[in-house]
Amino acid sequence: MGFTGYLMLAADIVAIALIGVVIIQGQSSSGLGSVFGGTDIYRTRRGIEKTLYNATFLLAGVFALLSLFAVMFE
């Protein structure tokens, strides 16, 4: 397995972690009902919710970079 293979393996691991983080976050709003008058639209993220929110963006960025590098070095 070459360098590209290791990059793809790392991208797979990060993708699985990203899926897990998104699933753990759960339902934060009540769908379209929250857009049209829901009361919890402007609430602040705290604690584990904030950590999961930040981890989502971090993992998405790492996944994008790994995918880009895998294509560049192929």
Is 40 part of a structural domain of the chain?
no
**Number of domains forming the structure of the chain:** 1
Is 55 part of a structural domain of the chain?
yes
Whether the per-residue pLDDT at 68 is higher than 70: the answer is yes
Segments forming the whole domain that contains residue 16: 3-27+45-72
What confidence tier does 16 reach under pLDDT thresholds 50, 70, 90? very high
19-38: pLDDT as tens digits? 999 999 876 555 555 556 55
Is 11 part of a structural domain of the chain?
yes
Is 50 part of a structural domain of the chain?
yes
Is 38 part of a structural domain of the chain?
no
pLDDT of residue 35: 57
State pTM to two decimals: 0.73
Is 65 part of a structural domain of the chain?
yes
Is 18 part of a structural domain of the chain?
yes
38-64: pLDDT as tens digits? 555 566 778 888 899 999 999 999 999
3-state helix/strand/coil string of the chain? CCHHHHHHHHHHHHHHHHHHHHHHHCCCCCCHHHHCCCCCCCCCCCCHHHHHHHHHHHHHHHHHHHHHHHHHCC
